Structure 1
Amino acid sequence: MTDVAQLAGVSHTTVWRVFNNHRGVRDETRERVHHAIRQLGYRLNPAARTLVTRRSNTLGVITADRVSFRTTSILGGFERAARSAGYFVTITSADTPTQGTLRAAVNRLRDQGVEGVLALVPLDPTTFTSEPFPIVTIGARRRRALGVVDVGSSAGVAMATAHLLGLGHTTVHHVSGPPSCPEARLRRAVWHRTLRAASGRQPRFMAGDWTARSGYEIGLRLASDLDVTAVFCANDHMAIGVLRALTEMGRQVPEEVSVVGFDDIPEAAYTTPPLTTVGQDFETLGTHCMAMLHALVTDAERTVPCRIQLATHLTIRSSTARSPGSRSS
Structure 2
Amino acid sequence: MSISMVICKPAKPFLEDVPGRLDLGPLIPPREREKVVVILGATGTGKSRLSIDIASRFPAEIVNSDKMQVYQGLNVVTNKVTEEEKCGVPHHLLGNICPDADFTAGDFCGLASVAVDSISARGQHPIIVGGSNSYVEALVSDPSFHFRSRYECCFLWVDVAMPVLHSFVSERVDRMVGKGLVEEVGKVFDTNADYSRGIKRAIGVPELDLYFRTEKFLDENNRKRLLEDAIAEIKYNTCKLACRQLGKIHRLRNFKRWNVHRLDATQVFQKQGAEADEAWRQLVIEPSTSIVAEFLYGATKYAPAKALIPRALSTVSGRVLA
Q: Same fold (TM over 0.5)?
A: no
Give the TM-score of the pair, scaled to structure 2.
0.31
Larger RCO (CA within 8 A; separation ≥ 6): 2
Structure of larger gyration radius: 1
Q: TM-score, normalised by structure 1?
A: 0.30
